[in-house]
């Protein structure tokens, strides 16, 4: 992989981002921002295209042997070089202490004329982001010298995965914080790769939620099973875990979570192969998987989902409020707005079980044709579910 550099041709920018840059009354200042944003887009792309799955194994052995280091060294090197290349572009275009001192810094911002104050705010946002990323690079170096990390294959993969994700988040914040000083924008309009990141996180959340329902049902069945049925449940449980391992959600999990799933899958295999496996042992294993899957709800704390959920919550709320206003005078319009709100709300799937149940039904229900008491009741139900999500 060739690291991105100041000489690398800038990546295409989002249409809205380019539109804002072209509208700025200072072409030279806009040009410097464009170089930074182009380098940011390159860096995000490169930090996203590394598939760490190929470095995983079907074993939970912790040792990080020499072969792993030979494979991972270029990944770690390129991660640092790609981020440093972006930092170099920022330093070049927005130096913190240029040769002319503070006055020279201000003079570069003055090129923006009436936007002088906003230009200064954008420059400060870039400087702050640069400081944060430089600190993360230092922390990455410290982690790679930590014996507890470098001696454990899965911990090493987790740390590399975490740092690359953190860098993408910081770079996205850099773009959003600086350009939003000039215009009211959403992240999806200007941050490179943002929609892909959100979609990946939503996929993990949705599939993990469905897996949770499956495991909870399996747990109940195993609890009630007779001795003659235990092997059958073990085999079905094994198939369920295998099916999850083939999903996009599994690929998006942290390496340490995958390690735990592999470990538990290893317990299920022998039970499924035994004619009369001990029920208590299978039950204990299913309970462990159930606890692990429930812990994966932490995906809701990812910044991209927090921001997405707030936007979706607001968009649904606006449509439901309008729908309530039309429920008596114009039921057809009210029902259409309800259907729109439910469709938008599908991206919240996996956040809360009661909302999930509503959204599953909404996929099959003809909401746009509801009338009378049923329409009002459904509107009130969805409003109540949204109010209980706690994302405002």
- Helix-helix angle 303-326:331-345, to 10 degrees: 170
Q: Is residue 4 assigned to a domain? A: no
Q: Within a domain: residue 10?
A: no
Share above pLDDT 70 across residues of the chain, in percent, rounded to a whole number: 88
Q: What would the pLDDT profile of 259-272 be if each residue is shown by its tens digit?
A: 899 899 999 999 99
Domain contains 3: no
Given a cut of 50, whether residue 363 has pLDDT beyond it is yes
246, 319: one domain:
no
Of 61-65, 247-251, 368-372, which range is least confident? Answer: 61-65
Residue 113: what pLDDT? 56
Same domain for 182 and 212? no
In a shared domain, residues 256 and 378 = no
Q: What is the pLDDT of residue 136?
A: 94
Domain range for 159: 15-192
Residue pLDDT, tens place only, 342-354: 999 999 999 999 9
Query: Do 274 and 136 fall within a single domain?
Result: no
Which of 145, 165, 192 is a domain's end point?
192
Q: H-type helices in the chain, by residue range?
A: 15-23, 27-48, 66-93, 101-110, 116-143, 147-150, 153-179, 187-190, 194-224, 230-245, 248-251, 255-273, 279-295, 303-326, 331-345, 353-364, 372-387
Same-domain status, 315 and 218 = no
Burial of 256 by CB count in 10 Å (0-12 exposed, 13-18 middle, 19+ buried)? middle
The pLDDT value given to residue 250: 87
Counting Cα atoms < 13 Å in the Cβ hemisphere of 30 gives: 15
My answer on whether 49 and 167 are in the same domain is yes
In the predicted structure, residue 7 carries a pLDDT above the cut 80: no
- Residues 187, 61 share a domain: yes
Regarding whether 214 and 155 lie in a shared domain, the answer is: no
In a domain, 5, yes or no: no
């Amino acid at each position: 992989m060739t690291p991105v550099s100041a000489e690398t041709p800038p990546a295409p920018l989002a249409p809205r981002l380019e539109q804002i840059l072209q509208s700025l009354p200072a072409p030279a200042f806009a040009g410097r921002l464009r170089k930074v944003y182009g380098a940011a887009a390159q860096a995000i792309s490169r930090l996203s295209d590394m598939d760490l799955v190929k470095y995983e194994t079907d074993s939970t052995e912790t040792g990080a042997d020499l072969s792993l280091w030979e494979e991972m060294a270029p990944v770690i090197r390129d991660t640092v070089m790609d981020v440093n290349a972006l930092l170099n572009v920022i330093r070049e275009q927005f130096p913190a202490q240029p040769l002319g001192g503070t006055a020279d810094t201000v003079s570069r911002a003055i090129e923006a004329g009436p936007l002088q104050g906003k230009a200064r705010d954008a420059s400060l946002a870039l400087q702050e982001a640069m400081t944060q990323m430089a600190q993360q690079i230092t922390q990455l170096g410290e982690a790679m010298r930590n014996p507890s990390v470098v001696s454990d294959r899965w911990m090493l993969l987790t740390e590399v995965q975490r740092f690359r994700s953190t860098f993408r988040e910081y770079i996205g914040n850099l773009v959003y914080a600086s350009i939003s000083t000039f215009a009211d924008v959403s992240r999806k309009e200007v941050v490179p790769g943002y929609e892909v990141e959100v979609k990946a996180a939503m996929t993990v959340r949705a599939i993990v939620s469905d897996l949770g329902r499956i495991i909870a049902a399996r747990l109940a069945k195993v609890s009630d099973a007779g001795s003659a049925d235990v092997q059958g449940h073990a085999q079905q449980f094994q198939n369920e875990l295998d099916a999850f391992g083939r999903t996009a959600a599994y690929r998006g999990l942290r390496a340490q979570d995958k390690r735990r799933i592999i470990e538990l899958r290893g317990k299920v295999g022998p039970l499924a192969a035994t004619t009369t496996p001990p029920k208590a042992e299978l039950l204990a294993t299913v309970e462990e998987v159930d606890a692990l899957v429930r812990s994966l709800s932490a995906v809701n704390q990812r910044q991209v989902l927090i921001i997405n959920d707030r936007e979706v919550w607001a968009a649904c709320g606006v449509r439901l409020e309008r729908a309530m206003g039309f429920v008596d005078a114009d039921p057809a319009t009210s029902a259409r707005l309800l259907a729109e709100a439910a469709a938008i709300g599908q991206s919240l799937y996996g956040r809360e079980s009661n909302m999930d149940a509503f959204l599953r039904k909404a996929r099959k229900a003809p909401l746009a044709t509801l009338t009378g008491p049923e329409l009002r009741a459904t509107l009130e139900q969805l409003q109540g579910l949204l109010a209980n999500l706690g994302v405002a």
